[in-house]
Amino acid sequence: MFHFVSSANGIKSNRTMRILALLILFSGVVSAGEITLLKGQAYTVPDGKVWIIENTPVSTCRVCTADVYVKGELNNIEAAGVIFSGEFNFSFSSNSNGPIRLFPGTKVTLGDSRGSLVVYEEEL
């Protein structure tokens, strides 16, 4: 059963208004998206975005390579209030880590010890 209400722009159904409200609600969830990076692929942080790594579990390997390899220009990564530049790698030594921020243009690949890594994408 539909109930119609009048509005300044014409007649709209309650169902249409509910759908519109849900779209607005979910648009906020999509803006801070979760991205899963996979081993064997190269990624680049898009312009106008920042990727955030936080609370990543420690790898269970016995002899590990680095978890993440990054390559970028100036000021491409921030961790613990320190900004790093250039090409380097890092590993997680505790399950309570981050946030690590990867800025636009940063190239990211995963090491052999990590099959996937979840990052959160936000507007810069």
Rounded-to-integer distance, Cα 72 and Cα 87, Å:
6
pLDDT tens digits, residue range 61-92?
Answer: 777 788 999 998 777 889 888 998 999 998 88
96: pLDDT strictly greater than 90 = no
Could you tell me what percent of the chain has a pLDDT over 90? 39
Strand order in the sheet with 116-123: 34-38, 116-123, 49-53, 100-102, 77-79, 82-84
Tell me the residue length of the chain. 124
Tokens 């409200």 found at: 21
Retrieve residue 45's tokens: 């942080």
Rounded-to-integer distance, Cα 14 and Cα 99, Å:
42
Banded model confidence at residue 19, pLDDT cuts 50, 70, 90: low
Query: What are the backbone angles phi and psi of residue 91, rounded to the nearest 5°?
Result: -130, 155
pLDDT tens digits, residue range 51-64?
Answer: 999 888 888 877 77
Retrieve residue 38's tokens: 């996979």
Rounded-to-integer distance, Cα 28 and Cα 51, Å:
17
